[in-house]
Amino acid sequence: DAKTTQPNSMESNEEEPVHLPCNHSTISGTDYIHWYRQLPSQGPEYVIHGLTSNVNNRMASLAIAEDRKSSTLILHRATLRDAAVYYCILRASGAGSYQLTFGKGTKLSVIP
Amino acid sequence: DAGVTQSPTHLIKTRGQHVTLRCSPISGHKSVSWYQQVLGQGPQFIFQYYEKEERGRGNFPDRFSARQFPNYSSELNVNALLLGDSALYLCASSLFQYQETQYFGPGTRLLVL
């Protein structure tokens, strides 16, 4: 899987939007962009994924740059429960895509 | 519905010993993957099993082995434990081998003294 680059840490005030960036300049045409997060003392949990178009679900939105070399995970209103490590992962579709290759992620702190 | 469950939650072993970790996937899920997470790092892929066969292996020594049972539960075995094997071991399940989303359990924290 191709490599991603994320800031080590970010801070946000509670109830404000958070934009978590991810650079993936070597992304290939068939790589999906996945986001997982890991709350303290828990296993990772799926957040959202996309290929080319922006995606929304109940947890977050994913904005993908037109050239697909970067993406941004958007939490519309940060809560204390959103404090976690967020991982941006590129995952090829089809055969060989069974594993997730995690980096160090971005540790998000939410300030009350 | 119950999520992915793992046992035990915590384990302390000494160097040279053997350990067996267990994972029960979400009901109906046929694929189980194992990951090792060392403190301060992201999880690293160890194995994937699908339909009781090994379908993928990460860069881990032969001391690590796993198997999947007919009910799709899985065991991860580690022989000749080293201090560096101290980590959180995570199990993830998915419906099929190449399903987009993996669902993780809470992990087993192993400490090797």
Determine the Cα–Cα distance for residues B8 and A107; give it in Å rounded to an integer: 27
Kindly determine whether residue B43 and residue A42, on different chains, have CB atoms separated by under 8 Å. Answer: no
Quickly count: other Cβ atoms within 10 Å of residue B104's Cβ: 23
CA distance B10 to B88: 9
* pLDDT tier for residue B97 given thresholds of 50, 70 and 90: confident
- Radius of gyration of chain B from its Cα atoms, rounded to whole angstroms: 13
Angle of CA points A29, A46, A99, to nearest 5°:
55
Q: Do A43 and B106 touch (CB under 8 A)?
A: yes
Question: pLDDT at residue B100 above 90?
Answer: no
Where are the strands (E) in chain B, listed by range? 5-7, 10-13, 19-24, 31-37, 44-50, 53-57, 64-68, 74-78, 87-94, 103-104, 108-112
Specify the DSSP class assigned to residue A51: S
pLDDT of residue B99: 65
User: What confidence score (pLDDT) does residue B78 get?
Assistant: 98
Nearest Cα residue in chain B from A1: B45
Average pLDDT score over residue span A13-22? 97
Segment B5-15 shows an average pLDDT of 97
Instruction: Please tell me which of the candidates B4, B42, B48 has its beta carbon nearest to residue A87.
Output: B42
B5: distance to nearest CA of chain A, Å?
Answer: 11
CA distance B83 to chain A (A): 21
Per-residue confidence band for B54, with pLDDT thresholds at 50, 70 and 90: very high
Q: Report the chain A residue with the minimal C-alpha distance to residue B33.
A: A99
Cα separation values, A77 from A9, A70, A74, B17, B47, Å? 18, 22, 9, 48, 37
Q: Do A102 and B44 touch (CB under 8 A)?
A: yes
Question: In this structure, are residues B60 and B46 in contact, taking their beta carbons and an 8 Å threshold?
Answer: yes
Question: What pLDDT, on the 0 to 100 scale, is given for residue A1?
Answer: 57
Contacts 24+ apart (CB under 8 A), B47-56: B47/B76, B48/A98, B48/A99, B48/B97, B49/B74, B50/A98, B50/B96, B50/B97, B51/B97, B55/A98, B55/B31, B55/B97, B56/A98, B56/A99
Overall size of chain B counted in residues: 113
Going by pLDDT thresholds of 50, 70 and 90, the confidence category of residue B1 is low
Distance from CA of A75 to the nearest CA of B (A): 20
3-state secondary structure of A62: strand
- What pLDDT is stored for residue A98 in this prediction? 77
Q: Which of B27, B6, B104 is nearest to B72 (CA)?
A: B27
